[in-house]
Amino acid sequence: MITDNTSLQLEKVVPAADDFLPLLGTDYVELYVGNAKQAAHYYQSAWGFQPLAYAGLETGVRDRVSYVLEQDKIRLILTSPLDADGPINAHINAHGDGVKVIALWVDDATKSWQETTKRGAVSYMEPRTVEDKDGKVVYSGIETYGETVHIFVERKDYNGTFLPGYRAWNPEYKPTPTGLRYVDHMVGNVGWNEMNKWCEFYAKVMGFAQLVSFDDKDISTEYTALMSKVMSNGNGRIKFPINEPAEGRKKSQIEEYIDFYNGAGVQHMALATDNIIETVTALKERGVEFLYVPETYYDTVLDRVGQIDEDLAPLKKLGILIDRDDEGYLLQLFTKPVLDRPTMFFEIIQRKGAKSFGKGNFQALFESIEREQEARGTL
Ligand code: FE2
């Protein structure tokens, strides 16, 4: 196993004064889906997201319907088209359900657009101001890998429920939250030999720095191979690992994703919790399916990671993985794909000091993914 020797202290790498794209956090993640009403029910009932806002025919929108859900700092928008063609239909036709927008919360959406487009970003949306009785929001946007986009959201002059054009959505049905708190990182899968191109995009266009890299030597060639680099913005609030397929004896899980998504896109969203045992217990009770981890993983895991605060028994029962770096340890677990196509999934993560991404778990994880691919006949 190669050890992480990269600095995880990004504040020292990118002084705040030199950060031309200060990001305050993830504003929302928007998925284009075939049936937003039913998807919203799934994220409420299975994941404990709370209803927040709605836009559609009743609010004067004619071509789409959007449900907004939140859990602590995480906001999801689920959007479906109401017309027969148009860009949302085209996106769903090509990719199935998937992430269209990773929206970033900024102080100045106009400057964010200017700074990124002058460094080579392709504009998705020129800066525009949208107002309603609760104030105004400035948006702008740029394209990233595949058909995925970043929208910059400047909301400092807005006091409404969510964004202009949305009304509060307050149904009676409100299953309890499951303890999910914020987006820890969002991972992109890109095509063969495209990882460095997109890492350079985040470095040059958005001022990100590289935190960590893994290559195919980090994992046994017996398993489905990939290469990965983690890019982070200056204050470390936004982390985007980028994966590309690598040659192995079996078909790369990244290649399987690219085949079914028809190109690059978001592979997984990692959601943080302060109590992974409670969160995963609740998610499992509500029907969320996780990757299976062989019980033998727990025979040796403490030799590798040392002392941890939690009892091993509940971690083993739930299949929660453990990894350690120089600064602490982390607990993590991955769902099976949550869509019909084997594309997007979720990670649940609890950080106890560690700032890394669970490289020590790759092998156990890949064995598990490989079993799933075998069942799908795509290995
Ligand atoms: Fe992850």
Whether 199 is in a domain gets the answer: yes
Task: Identify whether residues 84 and 201 lie together within a single domain.
Answer: no
Helix (H) or strand (E) holding 76: strand 74-81
Q: Give pLDDT tens digits for 159-215.
A: 999 999 999 999 999 999 999 999 999 999 999 999 999 999 999 999 999 987 776
Distance 357 CA to ligand 1 centre (A): 6
Strand 328-334 and strand 123-132: pairing? unpaired
Task: Identify whether residues 202 and 157 lie together within a single domain.
Answer: no
Distance 56 CA to ligand 1 centre (A): 33
What is the rounded CA–CA span in Å between residue 230 and residue 198?
A: 11
Whether 59 is in a domain gets the answer: yes
Distance 83 CA to ligand 1 centre (A): 35
183, two tokens: 């987006």
- Write the CATH number for 111: 3.10.180.10
Whether 13 is in a domain gets the answer: no
4, two tokens: 């992480």
Task: Identify whether residues 93 and 187 lie together within a single domain.
Answer: no
Return the minimum-mean-pLDDT range out of 18-27, 134-143, 223-232, 315-324: 223-232
Q: Predicted confidence band at 378 (pLDDT cuts at 50, 70, 90)?
A: confident
Distance 362 CA to ligand 1 centre (A): 11
Distance 185 CA to ligand 1 centre (A): 7
Q: Which residue, 135, 168, 201, sits at the end of a domain? A: 168
Q: Which residue has the higher pLDDT, 358 or 314?
A: 314
Q: Give pLDDT tens digits for 206-263.
A: 999 998 777 666 655 566 678 889 999 999 999 999 999 988 777 888 999 999 999 9
149, two tokens: 């986009």
- Residue 199 vs residues 68, 194, 246: alpha-carbon distances, Å: 30, 9, 16
* Strand order across the beta sheet in which 328-334 lies: 209-214, 226-232, 239-245, 180-189, 265-273, 345-352, 328-334, 321-325
What is the rounded CA–CA span in Å between residue 338 and residue 321?
A: 20
What is the rounded CA–CA span in Å between residue 323 and residue 104?
A: 29
379, two tokens: 């290995």
Task: Identify whether residues 233 and 288 lie together within a single domain.
Answer: yes
Domain that includes residue 214, residue range: 180-376
Give, as one character, the DSSP assignment of residue 316: H
Whether 58 is in a domain gets the answer: yes
Distance 285 CA to ligand 1 centre (A): 23
| Angle (deg, nearest 10), helices 253-261 and 362-376 | 50
Q: Which residue, 116, 137, 168, sits at the end of a domain? A: 168
Average pLDDT over residues 154-159: 97
Q: Which residue, 111, 143, 168, sits at the end of a domain? A: 168
Which residues contact residue 13 at a Cβ distance below 8 angstroms, ignoring those fewer than 6 apart?
A: 7, 209, 234
At residue 47, the pLDDT reads 98
Task: Identify whether residues 368 and 245 lie together within a single domain.
Answer: yes
Distance 196 CA to ligand 1 centre (A): 18
Distance 230 CA to ligand 1 centre (A): 10
Structural domain total, the chain: 2
